[in-house]
Amino acid sequence: MRIRLAFSSTASSLHPSGTALQSSVTRSILRPAPSILLRRRFNSIPRRTTIQSNSLRKVLQKSTCRYDTTLTASASFSTMTSSFHPEQARVPPALQSPNPPITKFKIGLCQLKVTADKEKNILHARAALEEAAEKGAKLVVLPEIWNSPYSNDSFPVYAEEIDAGFDASPSTAMLSEVARLLNITIVGGSIPERSGEKLYNTCCVFGPDGKLKAKHRKIHLFDIDIPGKITFKESKTLTAGESPTIVDTDVGRIGIGICYDIRFQELAMLYAARGAHLLCYPGAFNMTTGPLHWELLQRARAVDNQLYVATCSPARDVGAGYVAWGHSTLVGPFGEVLSTTEHDEAIIISDIDYSQIELRRTNLPLEKQRRGDLYQLVDVQRLNAQ
């Protein structure tokens, strides 16, 4: 059984939703029989009723806005989604998430205190990576700018030439060695990188073989001015990266962002459309925006895209020039906070289960309900590569 309701802009302008016209017709039909004199006087009433009924029928037939209600839910859903053209909401079309080598594993988030002593920072990060691996983590994430104070004055001094090899980059040399020795995947937070005359805020990802699998240069530079609270301009020393970074690892497909990158939902949507299971954001939110936005943004990126989001911050040092908020966190694909910490040094060990992604996407089939007839996300990089 199918019930079809139709609404016309013409009908609405004369009789909102057609209600007044319909009630008029009904009253004409149900009006008590008049006297013979009145019947002669109003002998056109039945004809008028027919004309009005026909007019209503024509108006409804010409309606430009039709709503079908079907008792068969699956058929209704199929009709609705096909008319929305969800496959056109992603340009190029979304990629299917690959089957990861493992679907359940432990992740470690190392919230570290950073000092002005670079060598000490490297040794301290190594110890944290080793501790996380001992506790069963197969993927370990470090904070943003973990080998250097977070300041424009420090970036040029502590910067390393990653592309020149491990001799020119002791920080990445350590990450590579630890990943190989401990057979883990490392999302190496970020460090200042020197490339020619330019400086970048760069995250390196290493596989269990110790090889560099990906390098993400922070795309969105942290240039903000909140009077009386905080002013910082990364662009004074750093150059913005030019490419989104998604990498297939032994623990799934991971999209990488750094701190301020998390504010731009389009990047997360792009990673989801490329089949990411997990988004990792090493970050150092401050004491002004951190309490308001840090957890909010993580949960938003997770629930919007129905995947895992992991963040890792430096520990708070109130004596530093830049004071980090802390609160490293793992968020699940339903927007739920799975693990978090406060602002002191800590190593978070938490479980990731990728089957939860499929479960949540079945619960809420957003991908099938996107309105490709109204909006699109264009992946410029993929589109240009075709």
Residues 6+ apart with CB under 8 A from 8: 18, 59, 60, 62, 63, 64, 65
Query: E strand or H helix at 142, and its extent?
Result: none
Of 175, 166, 167, nearest to 147 by C-alpha is 175
Q: Could you tell me if 182 and 133 are in contact, meaning their C-beta atoms sit under 8 angstroms apart?
A: yes
3-state SS assignment for residue 352: strand
The 10 Å Cβ neighbour count of residue 334 is: 16
Residue type present at position 338:
L
Q: Is 218 a catalytic site residue?
A: yes
DSSP state of 32: P
Structural Rg of the chain based on CA atoms: 30
Exactly one of 204, 259, 280, 312 is catalytic; name it.
259
Q: Using CA atoms, how far apart are residues 232 and 234, in angstroms rounded to an integer?
A: 6
DSSP state of 118: H
Q: Could you tell me if 347 and 319 are in contact, meaning their C-beta atoms sit under 8 angstroms apart?
A: no
Long-range contacts of 118-122 (CB under 8 A, 24+ apart): 118/147, 118/148, 118/158, 118/170, 118/171, 119/170, 121/146, 121/147, 121/148, 122/147, 122/170, 122/171, 122/174
Q: Using CA atoms, how far apart are residues 64 and 100, in angstroms rounded to an integer?
A: 46
The 10 Å Cβ neighbour count of residue 373 is: 12
Q: Is 203 a catalytic site residue?
A: no
Question: Which residues of the chain form beta strands (DSSP E)?
Answer: 2-7, 65-70, 90-91, 104-111, 137-141, 185-187, 191-195, 198-206, 212-217, 223-226, 230-233, 245-249, 252-256, 278-282, 308-312, 329-331, 337-340, 346-353, 377-378
Exactly one of 144, 160, 193, 295 is catalytic; name it.
144
Residue type present at position 237:
T
Q: Using CA atoms, how far apart are residues 252 and 273, in angstroms rounded to an integer?
A: 15
Q: Using CA atoms, how far apart are residues 63 and 23, in angstroms rounded to an integer?
A: 19
Catalytic residue list: 144, 218, 259
